[in-house]
Amino acid sequence: MVVAGALLVSGCAGPGTGSDDPAPSVSTTSSSTPSPSTEPSATEPPVDPETPTSWGPTVGELEEARDLVATWTPEQLAGQVIVGRFHGTDPAIPARMVRDLHLAGVSVTSANVADREQVLAMTSALTRAAAADGRDFPPVIGVDQEGGYVSHLRGIATEFPHFQSAGAAIAADARLGRRVTRAAALTTGLELRGLGFTWVFAPVADVTIGAADPTIGARSPSQDPRLAAQAVGAAIKGYDDAGIVSTVKHFPGHGGATSDSHDVLPKLDSTLAQIRAHDLPPFESAIRQQAPAVMLSHLDLTHVAPGVPASMAPEVYSLLRDDLGFEGVTITDSLGMGAVGGRPKPALQALKAGADLLLMPVDTATTHQIVVDAIASGEVSRERVEEAAARVVALQTWQARIAAQRPVPADVVERARAASADLLSAAY
């Protein structure tokens, strides 16, 4: 079964085609790389628009996205930075939200899922709604499908073991472990695409501290930062191979928190040096493998931005972009979690701090209006919202292009089941 998984991976090379070996030493200085520009300098030739960015889309796709969003109304701009929540299983409800509020898309949870036919009807309705809104790129249709107990399509998509299996497999045999981890991500992504999804909110890059960690636990690939980095790097490449947008989470690392951000705002008292050593290696590995999106946690980093959730702290976005050199899409963790409850206009705080996508605000329509009003009043600059929206549009354009090049195979379910078994066997 492992041989089959290896052949599956080798036949479908994604944008991140470098070595599976991750985790150089953690940097302690800024490693930011300037964004590619199509503007020629006095001494340099123009950048070829086909040149890929460090996170997927080409330079040309990003420039076209910037030109497009510059023509949009505040209502369109506000929608394109929101991934909404909805209730129930009626496909018409999220489709109407995407069309009328111009949403980037929606996040699907287990409460929105009935059976395979309903899921296909829902994702098709969302795709049609985006097209009816005048968009020629797909919407964000995302789902938490990490493997293990955080799998919102249980009974519909193939079940994979917890991501800790990836770390265990790599610990047992590094080369085999990376291969089966990549194959698991590839087949997960292909199966999700076959169901109409364009995003997966995985992989988890948090380095757990073990029993004292109540939130992440087995969702983490390992307690060892280097093993976790290898697992995350391999998974990113697998998702890229599949033509689905992956989301590395929860920056800068939730595995050391001893309380649950679903309920409260956890405090993480690690120094920046400790965060660099313990938490950042998997994110560095992901960025090196061209991770398209990173999710920001709701953590109070007392030595970085005390009293403010990381998802709303400019200092944390600076750490990600300026120190680690990430240039792709930043997305908040769910804005309906207890960690941000009671804060005034949490979505707007996150957008101003540096978020490109606002995930699952409590009231999607109200949040949309808040962002529209903030653009009109100047509370948030139109430039900041255009920057965010352009990244999202460019990434969705990339997703459509790669997906078109890599059709979902007819036997995707059989391949996914084999890959799941291979990962479990390699781990234990």
Catalytic annotation, residues: 262, 333
Pairing of strands 140-143, 145-147: unpaired
Side-chain-side CA neighbours of 367 within 13 Å: the count stands at: 28
Q: In terms of C-beta density within 10 A (0-12 exposed, 13-18 middle, 19 or more buried), how is residue 204 classed?
A: buried
Distance CA 372, CA 378 (A): 10
**In this structure, are residues 205 and 253 in contact, taking their beta carbons and an 8 Å threshold?**
yes
220's CB contacts (< 8 A; 6+ apart) are: 163, 164, 167, 204, 206, 207, 208, 213, 228, 255
Distance CA 180, CA 173 (A): 11
58 DSSP 8-state letter: B
- Residue 33's SS3 state is coil
Q: Can you say whether the dihedral through the CA atoms of 187, 108, 169, 291 is positive or negative?
A: positive
Quick one: tokens of 402?
């790669």
User: Alpha helices, DSSP H only, in 13-140?
Assistant: 59-69, 74-79, 92-101, 116-132
117's CB contacts (< 8 A; 6+ apart) are: none
Residue 253 dihedral angles phi and psi, to the nearest 5°: 130, 115
